[in-house]
């Protein structure tokens, strides 16, 4: 009997074409529903997502929204996007009349997420939104409410929630292999370049390193410890007041306490390169990951040995899983919905408050 695998192997064996990637040989044919996605804000991360989506079966890039006309022309030819599925920020609300787009993925600067999610929801489209979901918990709660009211799903681009080595550590913790969890350390940072970029502009970024990279330590603390924190303390350090203006944090250290008695200690910075390390310690064992949240491959080991789960492009896996969540109601192991994004925003609010007051701030997630 001729199988799809036989066919693909024969095709790959023919001398005149490029060899097929290994996933194509092992992947079963997919003829289920496909989530048709439009990307909004065609910058660095959108390009990474678009490239990764070439390998998706359940999600397909079909549309684009941009303030730069040249980019729309480019993306039409580069990704095969029809002109009728292209919009700018002024024409975007017409997307409501386009039945060929199911979801909008927002990859613009942080301060634009709130209004753009509200617009996408009002147009009746499911929304995927990059981290941080918004600038603060008030905006986040409005976004969750608007999507609920419009009957659309709101998901946040937490790609680590689908990463195999991360999920293995979570599995081991849940099955008690580390014993009672006592301590977590999350260190996240990089040395930021161009001082004119939006990430260093308070209006667009909503803050500094904490909004951009420290959020990985905040979110990581929660999925690694497996509990919600009940208090936070925080301290800010600024060595360059020209580059990091008022309201743009350079380095923040923060600490959490959990109901079980576990504690966590984290660092977020724009002034140290390659800082990407998680360490989880329990009564019976530990997990350490470095790199822990970069694009991978993620590396890590536990008291039982090296983590060996294979690497796959994070954005590809994320889009496949998010398509399953939206189309088939799949429940992810770690949530990626608006409520999850809102919890991180409540923590961000509390960290900034703790920096300002020097006090321990209670958390009620």
CB-nearer residue toward ligand NDP: 262 or 340: 340
Q: Which helix (H) or strand (E) holds 23?
A: helix 22-26
**Binders in 209-228 for ligand NDP, by CB under 6 A:** 212
Element (H, E) at 351: helix 338-357
280 contacts ligand NDP (rule: CB under 6 A): no
As measured in angstroms, the least distance from the Cβ of 201 to ligand NDP is: 8
Active site residue 216: yes
Q: Please report whether residue 43 would count as binding ligand NDP according to CB under 6 A.
A: yes
Stretch that binds ligand NDP, among 17-25, 102-110, 147-155, 354-362 (CB under 6 A): 102-110
For position 71 contacting ligand NDP by CB under 6 A, the verdict is: yes
Please identify which residue in 3, 9, 68, 274 interacts with ligand NDP, judged by CB under 6 A.
68
- Token pair, residue 357, equals 């007051």
Rounded-to-integer distance, Cα 179 and Cα 175, Å: 9
- With CB under 6 A as the contact rule, the residue among 44, 151, 305, 329 that binds ligand NDP is 44
- Residue 275 has which token pair? 């800082």
Size of the site for ligand NDP (CB under 6 A): 22
Rule CB under 6 A: which of 129-158 touch ligand NDP? Answer: 130-131, 157
- Return the axis-axis angle of helices 69-79 and 44-53, rounded to nearest 10°: 20
Q: Which stretch binds ligand NDP (CB under 6 A): 27-35, 104-112, 172-180, 242-250?
A: 104-112
Which residue's C-beta sits nearest to ligand NDP? 43
Closest approach, Cβ 265 to ligand NDP, in A, equals 23
Catalytic residue among 216, 223, 270, 352: 216
CB 128 within 8 A of CB 315: no
Task: Between 108 and 313, name the residue whose CB sits nearer to ligand NDP.
Answer: 108
Which of the residues 151 through 210 are near ligand NDP (CB under 6 A)? 157, 159, 198, 204
Based on CB atoms, which residue is closest to ligand NDP, 36 or 71?
A: 71
45, 183, 190, 231: residue in contact with ligand NDP (rule CB under 6 A): 45
Task: Given the residues 71, 131, 153, 165, select the one marked as catalytic.
Answer: 131
C-alpha to C-alpha distance for 287 and 172, rounded to whole angstroms = 9
**Nearest CA to 235 among 266, 204, 261?**
266
Residue 297 burial (C-beta neighbours within 10 Å; 0-12, 13-18, 19+): middle
The DSSP call for residue 310 is P
Taking each helix axis from N to C end, the angle separating 44-53 and 314-328, rounded to the nearest 10 degrees, works out to 70
**CA 194 to each of CA 191, 198, 199, 331: distance values in angstroms, whole numbers, following the listed order:** 10, 9, 9, 40
Q: Which residue from 87, 104, 107, 184 is in contact with ligand NDP, where contact means CB under 6 A?
A: 107
What is the C-alpha separation between 348 and 354, in angstroms, rounded?
10
Asked if 246 and 164 touch (Cβ cutoff 8 Å), the reply is no
129, 113 contact by CB (below 8 A): yes
Q: Of the two residues 115 and 265, which places its CB atom closer to ligand NDP in the complex?
A: 115
Least CB distance to ligand NDP at residue 44 (A): 3
Distance in Å, CB of 97 to ligand NDP, minimum: 21
Q: Is 41 a binder of ligand NDP (CB under 6 A)? A: yes
> What is the Rg, in whole angstroms, of the alpha carbon atoms belonging to the chain?
21
C-alpha 123, offset from chain centre? 23
276 binds ligand NDP (CB under 6 A): no
Q: Which of 8, 55, 98, 109 binds ligand NDP (CB under 6 A)?
A: 109
Q: Are strands 263-269 and 286-289 parallel, antiparallel or unpaired?
A: unpaired
**Minimum separation from the CB atom of position 43 to ligand NDP (A):** 2
Residue 304 bears catalytic tag = no
Query: Which H or E element spans position 328?
Result: helix 314-328
Would you please indicate which residues are annotated as catalytic (active-site) residues?
Answer: 131, 216
Site residues (CB under 6 A) for ligand NDP?
41-46, 66-68, 71, 107-110, 112, 130-131, 157, 159, 198, 204, 212
């Amino acid at each position: 009997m001729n199988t799809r695998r036989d066919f693909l192997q024969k095709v790959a064996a023919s001398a005149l074409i490029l060899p097929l990637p290994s996933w194509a040989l092992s992947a079963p044919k997919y003829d289920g529903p496909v989530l048709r996605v439009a990307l909004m804000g065609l910058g660095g991360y959108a390009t990474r997502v678009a490239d990764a989506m070439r390998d998706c079966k359940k999600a397909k890039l079909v549309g684009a929204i941009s303030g730069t006309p040249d980019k729309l022309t480019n993306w039409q030819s580069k990704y095969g996007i029809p002109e009728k599925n292209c919009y700018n920020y002024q024409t975007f609300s017409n997307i409501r009349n386009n039945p060929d787009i199911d979801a909008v993925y927002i990859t613009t600067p942080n301060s634009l997420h709130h209004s753009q999610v509200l617009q996408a929801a009002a147009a009746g489209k499911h929304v995927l939104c990059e981290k941080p979901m918004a600038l603060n918990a008030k905006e986040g709660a409005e976004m969750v409410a608007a999507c609920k009211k419009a009957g659309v799903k709101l998901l946040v681009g937490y790609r680590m929630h689908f990463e195999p080595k991360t999920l293995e550590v979570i599995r081991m913790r849940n099955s008690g292999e580390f014993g009672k969890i006592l301590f977590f350390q999350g260190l996240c940072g990089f040395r930021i370049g161009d001082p004119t970029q939006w990430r260093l502009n308070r209006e667009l970024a909503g803050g500094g390193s904490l909004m951009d990279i420290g959020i990985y330590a905040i979110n990581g603390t929660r999925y690694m410890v497996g509990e919600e924190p009940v208090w936070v303390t925080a301290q800010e350090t600024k060595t360059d007041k020209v580059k990091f203006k008022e309201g743009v944090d350079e380095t923040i250290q923060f600490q959490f306490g959990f109901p079980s008695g576990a504690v966590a200690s984290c660092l977020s910075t724009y002034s140290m390169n390659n800082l990407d390390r998680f360490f989880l310690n329990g009564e019976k064992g530990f997990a350490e990951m470095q790199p822990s949240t970069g694009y991978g491959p993620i590396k890590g080991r536990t008291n039982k040995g090296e983590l060996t789960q294979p690497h796959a492009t994070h954005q590809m896996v994320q889009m496949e899983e998010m398509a399953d969540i939206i189309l088939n109601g799949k429940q992810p192991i770690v949530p990626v919905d608006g409520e999850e994004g809102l919890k991180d925003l409540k923590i961000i609010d509390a960290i900034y408050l703790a920096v300002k007051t020097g006090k321990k701030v209670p958390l009620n997630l």
